[in-house]
Amino acid sequence: MTSGRLQDRHVLLTGAGGGIGLAVAEACIAEGARCSVIDRAATAPDAVSAAQQRYPDRLVYIAADVTSAQDIQRLLTEAIAAFGPIHTLFNNAAVFDLAPLLDSDEASFDKLFAVNVKGMFFVMQAVLRHMVEAGTEGASVINMASQAGRRGEALVSHYCATKAAVISYTQSAALAMAPHGIRVNGIAPGVVDTPMWDHVDSLFAKAEGLPPGEKKRRVGLEVPLGRMGMPGDIAGAAVFLASDEARYITAQTLNVDGGNVMS
């Protein structure tokens, strides 16, 4: 039983081909929303296709690269054509890499900042411009940061810096949009059990000489609540921030991390 907190609202989600993004989309649909799901795969991933079968009138998939200005304008046009004015942006597209500081190269820097910062900002800018022009009532943006944006990590310097930038842009955008009645907030997850974390685990295994799965096991045990997060743990926070229940919350980045970061 749901409360219809997002009834007939249009939520646009980037990086939503699976994992957290798709979990948030399904949670929004359960609350009455229509969702434009964006990912870079040319055709809808299997998990998205399955969701489309369950919600044929409430979910559309759009293939786009958030590092491309042309793609950003196209995805916006296609999303509006599908479901009308956008009420909420869940700005989630991101990539991960790691390397010892002295070995980290320009290619890794460029890749991470292109998606995690440039893509995040220009998607947000395009959607906010649309929201201002459309005068969308109850409009909001949710940018996905990370606990990595709250602190440095020896092997993850570029990724940490990108997520710190997300938190900073969230604050600046919230102040810029407050006169328009548009809220901008962030979510900083901790360690979340998704396919992306399997990739993260493999990188740590190589860098730290660990057997596969060991880094993932350790970080789960280190969380004060005793486990890694699940995509649904993030979805609840996202629905809340998108809803009118959060109408007086802006410029905040909510830690959803099982107690890893205290602020």
What is the DSSP pairing of strand 253-256 with strand 140-144? Answer: unpaired
Whether residue 37 is found in the same domain as residue 165: yes
Residues 82 and 143 in one domain: yes
248 and 144 in a single domain? The answer is yes
184 and 119 inside one domain: yes
**Cα distance between residue 243 and residue 115, in whole Å:** 27
| Domain annotation covers residue 261 | no
134 and 215 both lie in a single domain: no
Q: In this structure, which amino acid lies at residue 183?
A: R
Domain presence at residue 1: no
Read off the pLDDT of residues 130-178 as tens digits, 9 standing for 90 and up. Answer: 999 999 989 999 999 999 999 999 999 999 999 999 999 999 999 999 9
Q: What is the pLDDT of residue 97?
A: 95
> DSSP readout, 68-100?
-HHHHHHHHHHHHHHH-S--EEEE---------
Number of domains in the chain: 2
- Is there a single domain that holds both residue 65 and residue 137? yes
Question: Which residue of the set 55, 61, 159, 248 is catalytic?
Answer: 159
- Verify that 66 and 143 share a domain, yes or no: yes
Residues 166 and 215 in one domain: no
Distance of CA 170 to the CA centre of its chain: 12
The angle, 0 to 180 degrees and rounded to 10, between the axes of the packed helices 19-30 and 46-54 is 0
Confidence check: pLDDT of 1 > 60: no
200 and 82 in a single domain? The answer is no
Q: What is the pLDDT of residue 195?
A: 87
User: What residues make up the domain containing 169?
Assistant: 10-190+231-255
User: Is residue 2 pLDDT above 70, yes or no?
Assistant: no
CATH number at residue 63: 3.40.50.720
Work out whether the CA dihedral 147, 149, 152, 155 comes out positive or negative.
positive
For residue 219, give the nearest of 228, 207, 231, 230 by alpha carbon. Answer: 228
Same domain, 168 and 237: yes
| Averaged pLDDT, 233-258 | 97
Q: Is residue 18 part of a domain?
A: yes
pTM above 0.85, yes or no: yes
In terms of domains, do 53 and 112 share one? yes
Domain assignment present for 4: no
- Give me the mean pLDDT over the 96-112 stretch: 96
Asked if residue 206 is part of any domain, the answer here is yes
Whether 260 is covered by a domain: the verdict is no
Residue 201 domain-assigned (yes or no): yes
169 and 251 share a domain?
yes
Closest CA to 3 of 244, 196, 164, 262: 244
Does the annotation mark 55 as catalytic? no
